Amino acid sequence: MKWGFVGTGRIAERIMEAFKQMPASTVTAAYTRREESLQAFCDRWQIPGRYTALEALAADPEVEILYLATPHIVHLEHFRTLVRAGKPILCEKPMGMSAQETEKMVRMAREHGIFLMEGMWTRFFPITRWLRRLVASEELGRAYNVMADFSYHSPYDPALRFFRRDLGGGAMRGAGIYPLAMAAMVFGEMPVDVCAMAQQKNDVDLRSAALLRFPGGGLAQIMSGFQGESVQGANIAFEKGAVWIPDFWHPQRAIMRTQHGERVISLPFDFPGFQFEIEEVERCVAAGLQESPEMPLQESVDLAAALDRMYENWQ
């Protein structure tokens, strides 16, 4: 299928690498307001369609699927234009700056009868799919606790988007959504109790942590931040064992421990890994679906609502 990119920043560059793994899929057009950035991106990736007007990209007859890769602070603004083209849309996570924004986007997609999915690439890795099957099989019994941390060190720079509130900066919304989504996936529901705290600077959370309680009794401890490197792993405690997933946000293996010993599940993939979410979008579009059963739209709304509650805790 033929894709059109909205935005040509860092995440778009990483997504473009995934198309090397997908010879039947191509990016035929791109948009950004800055002419110089647009030409450099399109020259680098040999993209013929080049637009500095969003409406023109959306109307390009060669474009079959749109990928919204701009900062999440402007997702809703750009989505309002894109949705009128009536084409499927993959929207980079987080979909909106709040549950209210996310719900608006979902409602508009349904009103226009188009496919929409949040780009939660962690949901589609082979190890993640293996974990979902393990939970469903009840081989290890009930899941009780989840601990997940996605933190890394980035020197503070007030000019960078990650550290600016006016540009949607903040650790939990930008990075913490990964451990939150992991816990919600394992328990198959959203938290009913949220206790969160953060280390802030200029109203931006540099480090944040949350304790979550789920309706079925599951508990989760999640952390995210731009201060301090972590192992970036996830541990799931079951009734009859545990699963440790190193680098859970792009995992290639998992370690399952039970009373009978330890087993390593290895499911490697080619760099960069975004090809799995691209494949999911194309599969759903080809099947005539308007949302992905693996990353349903209501889950995106509910995840945004959980994030809202965390930010309310410390603001």
Q: Please give the pLDDT value at position 15.
A: 96
Q: Please give the pLDDT value at position 315.
A: 78
- Name the CATH code of domain 126-268 (choices 3.30.465.10, 3.40.50.1220, 3.30.360.10, 3.20.20.70): 3.30.360.10
For residue 148, pLDDT beyond 90: yes
CATH code that applies to domain 2-120: 3.40.50.720
Instruction: Tell me how far apart the alpha carbons of residues 75 and 43 are, in angstroms, rounded to a whole number.
Output: 25
pTM, rounded to two decimals: 0.96
- Average confidence (pLDDT) over 106-115: 98
Percent of the chain whose pLDDT exceeds 90: 97
Q: Render pLDDT for 66-96 as a digit per residue (tens, 0 to 9).
A: 999 999 999 999 999 999 999 999 999 999 9
Looking at the chain, the domain(s) classified CATH 3.30.360.10 span 126-268
162 against 50, higher pLDDT: 50
Average pLDDT, the chain: 97
- Average confidence (pLDDT) over 225-247: 97
Q: Please give the pLDDT value at position 99.
A: 98
For residue 288, pLDDT beyond 90: yes
Q: Which residues contact 155 (CB under 8 A, 6 or more apart)?
A: none
Of 279, 271, 277, the C-alpha closest to 91 is: 277
Looking at the chain, the domain(s) classified CATH 3.40.50.720 span 2-120
Q: Which residues contact 246 (CB under 8 A, 6 or more apart)?
A: 231, 232, 233, 253, 254, 255
Instruction: Tell me how far apart the alpha carbons of residues 63 and 55 are, in angstroms, rounded to a whole number.
Output: 12
Q: Is the dihedral of CA 7, 95, 17, 156 positive or negative?
A: positive
Q: How distant, in Å, are the alpha carbons of 75, 92, 157, 205 from that of 121? A: 17, 9, 27, 23
Q: Please give the pLDDT value at position 272.
A: 96
